[in-house]
Chains A and B, each alone.
Chain A
Amino acid sequence: MEKKITVAIAGNPNSGKTSIFNMLTGARQHVGNYPGVTVEKKEGFSKYKGCEITFVDLPGTYSLTAYSVEELVARNFIIDERPDVVVDIVDASNIERNLYLATQLIEINAPLVLAFNMSDIAEQRGLTFDIEQLSELLGAAIVLTVGNKAKGKEQLLEAIIKTAEKNRKRRGPKIHYGTEIEDELAKIEQIIKDAEKELTARYSARWLAVKLLEQDSEIVSKIKDNSVISATAESIEHLKNIFRDEPEIMIADRRYGFISGACQETIKSTVELRHSISDLVDSVVINRILGLPLFLLLMFLTFFLTFKLGKFPMEALELFFNRLSITVAGFWQQGSESWLKSLLVDGVISGVGGVVVFLPNILLLFLAIAFLEDTGYMARAAFVMDSLMHKIGLHGKSFIPMLIGFGCSVPAIMATRILENRRNRLTTILVLPLFSCGARLTIYALFIPAFFPEKWQGPMLWLIYLIGIALAVICVKLLRLTVFRGETIPFVMELPPYRVPTFKSISIHMWQRGWLFLKKAGTIILAISIILWAAMSFPKPNEKLLKDVSPEKAQQLKLQSSIIGSVGKAIEPALRPLGFDWKIGTALIGATAAKEVFVSQLSIIYAVGESEKSRHTLREKLQANYTPLTAFCVMLFCLISTPCIATTIITRQETGSWFWALFQFAALTIMAYVITLIVYQLGSLFF
């Protein structure tokens, strides 16, 4: 029988964690979320010497405190899931800082293997390690690796298997915190053992005592017994008096002391450390004058790659789906009214096809993002944009998804994965639909020329986009004041040295995102397409009515009698105050499938057909039926309300909760309604 083992992969951001994960698992990966939190969970699988190994990639963290969701997720995974081995990926060229996380893994007595990654760079910098002795001191196997060149894979797997075989109960080295702290720890430990039986079953008493002295919020909140609380407070007071600083800092200090003690004898440096090339590049990239133009150029290239170059494969895919629907329709007789044909052609193929055509955009976008991240530029982008974005209350990196949002909200929401902080990420996701996407441009392109004189057309389009941006800024502020109140984002970030990205890591990244997207298109989006199709096709109008009418007229009648047509009519009283009639209402409901559907729905309602020539006819009809104010209100409503179902689904997927997806959907719809109502009512006073 095969033995199954679970291996958690921990490590600092920028330690090359992903490259090791990819090296160990290849493309056999699964991406999801940790339950209940917007933190990405990557799992990968591998077989080695008869063992079936599941690798879990923990979030990249510097320590295991309770200050951030990411660190808590990593810590709780190790404590609760008890992986057979924890591999800590350590940047070998920067051992001291990287081992801080290792000391905390030692504290929770995790079965530890250390991968000294990027050992080639360490070697270039003249660092030599006495692996045997260091391994002895740290109580963990140490393997030298070079993740992006797949070096050290066998040795690492070997060390994993060996460590898994040892009993978990083996004791690792003990970090000594100094007599004063140790005395207090012993006191608290004793009290906890008696008073908190439940907790000590899950955690070691010593670890709990350390966390209490550190005032770890999660552990503090779990303590119910008053004697423990008062003993802790006493100890902290006592230690503060001795050290004139928080015990938390002293404990951290001792951890670094433990590290430097271990490293002193075992690591030799023959060359003075420098970041020569990185420094040189940085003098340009984060330069006060050159930094911003360079950033804008790179952003322009990203956008260009995603949407301009992406247009060609996108058109090819559109053509493919067109052909496919013609072929499928060909199975039936010309003019057949089979509902199965309609389901396949109008429901399945056009629904899924309409979403799958975005695949090239998504692949290209993630190609660009992976490149920017792997080279180390992304951290600099945050640096350059930080002063602006910080004023809004967001991280510098949020700029990138927002920019992508002008193309399409779906990849933009996926791109928020570059934000490590969960709150930043949620805020960004929630407001992203307000960045007017390309699909909505088709609506503006229909209405603006129809209602506004030529010289106003350009400014009008700008105005719409600006309203979206302004609303997004206001919403971020509001979210920060309400839902995400009190969350200041401490802006501390490492600027990793520049690196040459590898083809393998970039392609794995691209493939994962693309696959996630396709999976959604194949499941939920397919289901919703079918529901919308049914709502648009049933019930059918009386057969007699359809006789001897033009195909356009027949389509119009069908839509009117369908569920969507009825709903459009039913909600007309609610839409009246916005200046909308049932026709616009019907088109708006249809447009939840995708915003560009709004235009084709209107064409059907006005029975004009869908060719370019008919677009003129449609504009004439619109002019005859609506005022410029109504036209503006339609655009405003489309701008603010959720762009499409795919956005909601992706939000659900990326946040890991229906709550946020539905919250976004509802909040945007209500906001669209209220703002349009105010604008229309005030506007009618003047126009």
Chain B
Amino acid sequence: MEISHRPLSGVKAGEKVRLVYIDAGHGLRGRLVAMGLVPGTILTVINNNRPGPFVISVKNTKVMLGRGMANKIIVSDTEVQNK
């Protein structure tokens, strides 16, 4: 795992990242998967203003997440993974 993995919560607004892993229990993971958040998907962070939730764009929809959740979503840079 030489690629730099980091939580989604640390990604700035406007950045595009690739989803690697969701570090959460069944319920939450199931919910996120159903909303299009499967490993490999590209997401764009739309809003990352503290305090308050987090807005990302995935599969052409805007999804709002709690901040705690954004901590549990592990992402990597899109370019690095593409090589």
Contact = CB atoms under 8 A, between A and B. Distances in A.
Given A63-B30, A67-B27, A67-B30, A494 B53 contact: no
B31 to A, nearest CB: 5
Interface residues of A, number: 44
Contacts of A497: 62
Contacts of A496: 61-62
A249 B38 CA distance: 7
Contacts of B59: 94, 96-97
B28 A490 contact: yes
Contacts of A494: 35, 61-64
A97 B35 contact: yes
A383 B31 contact: no
Contacts of B10: none
Contacts of B4: none
B54 to A, nearest CB: 10
B42 interface: no
A383 B64 contact: yes
Contacts of A65: 30, 34
Interface in B18-59: 21-22, 26-36, 38-40, 46-47, 49, 51-53, 55, 57-59
A687 interface: no
A288 interface: yes
B82 interface: no
Contact of B21 (A68, A245, A387): A245
A560 interface: no
B40 A253 contact: yes
A93 B60 CA distance: 9
Nearest to B24: A490
Nearest to A490: B28
Interface string A422-439: 000000000000000000
Contact of A492 (B32, B47, B51): B32
Contacts of A382: 64
A254 to B, nearest CB: 10
A100 interface: yes
Given A63-B33, A492-B31, A495-B55, 9 more contacts: A94-B59, A214-B30, A245-B21, A245-B39, A249-B33, A278-B62, A383-B52, A492-B63, A494-B63
Interface of B: 21-22, 26-36, 38-40, 46-47, 49, 51-53, 55, 57-66, 69
Interface of A: 61-63, 65, 67-68, 93-94, 96-97, 100-101, 214-215, 217, 245-246, 248-249, 252-253, 256, 273, 275, 278-279, 282, 286, 288, 379, 382-384, 386-387, 390, 490-497
